[in-house]
Amino acid sequence: MYVILVYDVNVARVAKVLKTARKYLHWVQNSVLEGELTEAGYRKLKRELEKIIDLDQDSVLFYILDSGRYAERELLGVRKGGEEWIV
What would the x/- binding string for its own copies be over residues 45 to 84, using CB under 8 A?
-x--xx--xxxxxxxxxxxxxxx--xxxxxxxxxxx----
Sequence-ordered list of residues with C-beta below 8 angstroms from that of 14, at least 6 positions apart, any chain: 7
Residue 42 C-beta: closest distance to its own copies, Å: 9
Name the helix (H) or strand (E) containing 13.
helix 11-22
Rama region for 85: left / alpha / beta (φ>0; ψ in -120 to 50; rest) = alpha
Binding-site size for its own copies (CB under 8 A) equals 39
Interaction site with its own copies (CB under 8 A): 1, 4, 6, 8-9, 28-32, 46, 49-50, 53-67, 70-80
